[in-house]
Amino acid sequence: PADCVEVRVTLTDAERLSYATAEADERYKLASTARTKEAVVKAILNRHPGEPALIIGAYLEQLHELAAELDCPVIEGSTKNKEREELFQAFRTGEIPRLVVSKVANFSIDLPEASVAVQVSGTFGSRQEEAQRLGRLLRPKGDHRQAHFYSVVSRDTLDTEYAAHRQRFLAEQGYAYRIMDADDLLGPPVPEVGA
């Protein structure tokens, strides 16, 4: 069974203001791509040193920023098939311990070695997407490691609402699902400059 955890982050004052004043069709993207998530992703990965990890999201700019922060490659729709296969193979053999992947990872890849997935953004609470992403981890591990599936969600936003849809789906499928606060991973918040 996978350990499914939703980690809720609090937007900074500036992020909350941008979210509150954004057009309705931009709010989900703003909540999903909040920079506040970067430190949380790092903290999650630090909890699983040496474990093969996938960082999964829907917004390419966010994924490229995370890949730069984590010093790992990105696989997206425009990545040539030959390069994708080389990166997947390097991940399978442990040469590359982490991959940042876009929605291309939802379909037709076989990475049974992955034991940690960190979802930073998705498609509006899609149950199918959640099942596909979780499916990347639920393959038997040779060393019987437990799979860990994290979803990093911006509190008090559409991101939280859509996460509730995914949470219900996982619960209906019989997965244990818990919610934790990002501060429990990061420690007390640091005041914003000029606040």
Q: What CA–CA distance (Å, rounded) separates 81 from 100? A: 16
Q: Report pTM.
A: 0.85
Give Cβ neighbours of residue 103 (< 8 Å, ≥ 6 apart).
58, 77, 123, 129
Q: In the chain, how many H helices and how many E strands? A: 8, 7
Rounded distance between C-alpha atoms, residue 171 and residue 109, angstroms: 25
pLDDT digit string, tens, across residues 82-126: 998 899 899 989 999 999 998 766 555 667 678 898 989 876 545
Superfamily of domain 2-186: P-loop containing nucleotide triphosphate hydrolases (3.40.50.300)
**Of 60, 87, 86, whose CA–CA distance to 73 is shortest?**
87
The predicted-structure confidence for 38-59, as pLDDT tens digits, reads as follows 999 999 999 999 899 999 888 9
Of 64, 56, 59, the C-alpha closest to 130 is 56
